[in-house]
A and B are shown apart, each in its own frame.
Chain A
Amino acid sequence: MHVPGWHEATKEWQEAGDLQMVGIIQEQHPDRARLFMQWKEMDWPILIDSLDLLETTVVPMTLLIDEHGVIRQIQPPRDRLDELRANFLDVAFEAPDAAAGSLLPEMSDAATEAVSLYLWDGAVDPNAVVGAFERAVDADAEHGYTLFRTGVAYRWRYDSEAVQPGDFQRAVHYWERALSVDPNNYIWRRRIQQYGPRLAKPYSFYDWVATARREISARGGEPSPLVVEPGGAEFAQPQRAFTVDEAGLEPPEMDDRIYRDNGEYVEVEATMVPSAIAPGASTRAHLSFVPNEAIKAHWNNEVDDLIFWVEVPAGWQLDRRAVTVPNPPETVSNETRRVELEIKAPEDASGRYELPGYALYYVCEDVNGICLYRRQDVSLVVEVGG
């Protein structure tokens, strides 16, 4: 691996005080880098640049920066450490003259305010941050970095207690808009791929997390906790061909007699990543099921698992016919339940498709003490463009 390899190769220089390692990470969830650093036993400073203020378009990137802050080498070769020692560590560089340049992020006043709120005002209401980014988009709707950063803010609110319906889909929407401004920005592209279908993945993003936890625990450590656990899309491995789990089930409920939940008991949200696909391409649906706190709704875990079923037109494919969320061991619980599945459109698809689906679950509420098996209809909307 790129960074751990450099850490190992330069350990002696670091310990001797000859070289300071510093990292800047680009992730939506920076605490995952904390677990990564712990796993690889790297204890140097890490700075968080989830908004990509540096305006890097690819990672990883390694730079040698002298004692005056001047960039002396970009992507030094790791197999030429002697040169690095002789041409960088052992050289006393002169201070730069006033003509030395440095690039600034290009931002409107509105974008500056939004970025400042996000970065530095930890007590601020996430709604205020999102609102500030929306104003920044209003000020310049074609500014790729503002669009990307607005997506980061929406996903951040989605992961917070201030989550609003549609936050995740809006995040995807803004990342897609940013990418339409500059298709060559791989930081933006990766943010979508992180949550997107396996056909579009360059690699698994967070499959290392389980190994890291296991190895940290094995050496007697306590793995650094994650604020947001990576979801299925983030663990998923890339694939070259769409695969279908043929272990199909019959639709779980054919008659119409099960009590309905129209969102009173469980709030359901579906997010499609990407939001629009080309004919023949696939998209990944992310569904979340949140028991309604206002009526103290909760899952009854002594009965059937939650199951989600979706119908697709002829020619469409699903990676799984029915997706279940196994009940946890406790008798009752009120956690958010998540379902992910992938849908592939046929080559001749075009337009907007509403794929009818429904979830079945056993939910209770404490206001009237009602516990029932219920069905909620959930359509998945797929836009297929030319």
Chain B
Amino acid sequence: MDFLERFGHACGMFSPRAVAVASVVALAIPAGGAALPASIDGNAALLVPEEVATSSAQRRDSPFAVGDLFPDLAFPSLEDGTPTRLSDFRGKKVMLHVFASW
């Protein structure tokens, strides 16, 4: 079952939104290791293993839940802007603070 089918089943229907979302995720999971489209080349933000992907269409009130893998998004580091993800700290116990200086 490919992702579109899986997503459609989960949502019960293919709304235009659902198709759009699914296409994004499909882009993020290049089959057979194919290169990403140029438009998102370098944007590792959307790369996640297919097995652990859940659309935010099914989102809970909080984006985080105990037992979930932390979303494998890449963010620019404050130090030098290089793409950094939480998975770069795999093997370590991490205390993550999502915050603002205000």
The interface of chain A, by Cβ under 8 A from chain B, is 2-3, 6, 10, 18-27, 30-37, 45-49, 53-57, 59-74, 88-89, 96, 98, 100-109, 111-113, 115-116, 119-122, 139-140, 190, 194, 203-206, 208
Contact = CB atoms under 8 A, between A and B. Distances in A.
Given A57-B63, A69-B72, A103-B68, 5 more contacts: A3-B97, A35-B101, A54-B63, A70-B70, A107-B20
Contact of A102 (B20, B23, B66, B69): B69
A20 B93 CA distance: 6
B43 A115 contact: yes
Contact of A34 (B25, B66, B78, B83): B78
Contacts of B98: 23-26, 49, 54, 56, 59-63
Contacts of A20: 89, 92-95
Interface in B50-68: 51-57, 59, 62-68
Interface residues of B, number: 59
A100 B67 contact: yes
B48 interface: yes
B24 A56 contact: no
Identify whether the interface residues of B are mostly helix, strand, loop, or mixed. Answer: mixed
Given A68-B90, A140-B17, A23 B53 contact: no
Contacts of A37: 78
Contacts, number: 254
Contacts of A55: 56, 59, 63
A57 B42 CA distance: 27
A47 B75 contact: yes
Contact of B99 (A60, A88, A112, A119): A60
Given A71-B68, A105-B56, A112-B39, A64 B78 contact: no
A22 B64 contact: no
Nearest to B39: A113
B58 to A, nearest CB: 8
Contacts of B48: 102, 104
B39 to A, nearest CB: 5
Contacts of B86: 22, 65, 69
